[in-house]
Amino acid sequence: MASSSKIVPFPSASANSWIEQYQQACLTPLDAGTIRVYRHILSQFTQWIEQQRGKEGQFAPEQITTSLVERYLTGLAARDIAPAIGNGSNPSSRNFANG
């Protein structure tokens, strides 16, 4: 029996480290539920970056550019997944490539 579901890998160790650092630097004042959502979004984002670069498991923060973030958000908006993030109303979406 064939399955049509796509297996999503866990974030790489380097991505997890970066997400943890981002949480400590930027998300600490937020409530636990909000932090969980941000971490999930960052995990998906870093996995997408690895896939785009063809280097799964090899995330490096210096790969993040403004144009890469825009391309990611445009892709989400095109799939109607995250319009609130894609329209820039989410302050952290503007800071990924800046910090």
pTM score: 0.65
Task: Tell me what pLDDT residue 79 has.
Answer: 82
Which residues fall within 8 angstroms of residue 71, CB to CB, at 6 or more apart? none
Write out pLDDT tens, residues 29-79: 999 999 999 999 998 888 888 888 676 667 778 878 899 889 988 988 888
Residues 22/98, Cβ–Cβ less than 8 Å: no
